């Protein structure tokens, strides 16, 4: 009897050991994937901030260069300059080329980059999307209700597969419709639709 109990306990320990090895070798770690995605997004964010700072510095330099007042020439100086013509053609100095005018307004690319960083919808207002899922969606380029509404369920699955986050497939099928209502600011209709999902 004691041999049988010993074999049973040994079998349990060997089973746990095999399971532990299997999990360590073959089951992917979702936290590691999220950490990699987070590091990549932080790196991209810092790169975009540096580009933004450089563009703002160029813009301020261009603005100050355009604001510098030109020294007007008095009429007497103009007349004197016209009367004293050089004696030979070789003495004529070439006219300086006009400086290109620099636009004082930010370019559309800068404006869209600024608005993209600041404008993102609260995706957690949709049923089935929590803060972590919303963060994963934003990391994969889904920041607006209209962007989510334009995606099919298969496209959404492909985008979110890399993040390794889990979500309800039933809710995922309803996100496009919910996002359409939210994008149109039809909040009452959205609440009604969400109630039908809960039933």
Task: Say how far apart CA 170 and CA 168 lie, in whole Å.
Answer: 5
Has residue 146 been placed in a domain?
yes
Has residue 189 been placed in a domain?
yes
Q: Give the mean pLDDT of the chain.
A: 78
**Helix ranges, the chain (H):** 2-26, 30-67, 75-83, 108-118, 131-139, 145-150, 153-161, 169-183, 187-198
Task: Identify the pLDDT of residue 83.
Answer: 55
Residue 170: give its domain's CATH number: 1.10.150
Task: Identify the pLDDT of residue 99.
Answer: 56
Has residue 77 been placed in a domain?
no
| Higher-scoring residue by pLDDT: 144, 102 | 144
pLDDT per residue as tens digits for the range 100-127: 555 555 555 444 444 444 578 888 888 8
Has residue 126 been placed in a domain?
yes
This model's pTM is above 0.85: no
Has residue 104 been placed in a domain?
no
Has residue 61 been placed in a domain?
no
Task: Identify the pLDDT of residue 115.
Answer: 45
Q: How many Cβ atoms sit within 10 Å of the Cβ of residue 136? A: 22
Task: Identify the pLDDT of residue 172.
Answer: 83
| pLDDT value at 80 more than 80 | no
Has residue 54 been placed in a domain?
no
How many domains is the chain built from? 1
CB 52 within 8 Å of CB 114 = yes
Structural domain span for residue 177: 121-199
Has residue 196 been placed in a domain?
yes
- Measured on CA atoms in the order 119, 45, 147, 167, is the torsion positive or negative? negative
């Amino acid at each position: 009897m004691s041999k049988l109990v010993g074999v049973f306990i040994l079998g349990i320990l060997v089973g746990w050991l095999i399971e532990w090895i299997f999990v360590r070798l073959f089951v992917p770690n979702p936290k590691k994937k999220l950490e990699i995605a987070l590091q990549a997004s932080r790196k991209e964010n810092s790169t975009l901030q540096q580009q933004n700072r450089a563009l703002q510095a160029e813009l301020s330099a261009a603005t100050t260069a355009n604001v510098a007042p030109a020294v007007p020439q008095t009429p007497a100086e103009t007349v004197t300059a016209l009367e004293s013509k050089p004696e030979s053609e070789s003495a004529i100095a070439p006219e300086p080329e006009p400086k290109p005018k620099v636009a004082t307004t930010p370019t559309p690319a800068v404006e869209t980059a600024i608005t993209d960083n600041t404008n993102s919808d609260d995706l957690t207002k949709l049923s089935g999307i929590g803060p972590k899922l919303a963060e994963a969606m934003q990391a994969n380029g889904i920041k607006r209700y209209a962007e989510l509404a334009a995606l099919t369920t298969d496209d959404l699955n492909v985008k979110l597969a890399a993040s390794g986050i889990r979500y309800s497939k039933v809710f995922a099928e309803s996100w496009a419709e919910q996002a359409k209502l939210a994008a149109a600011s039809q909040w009452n209709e959205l609440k009604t639709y969400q109630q039908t999902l809960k039933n």
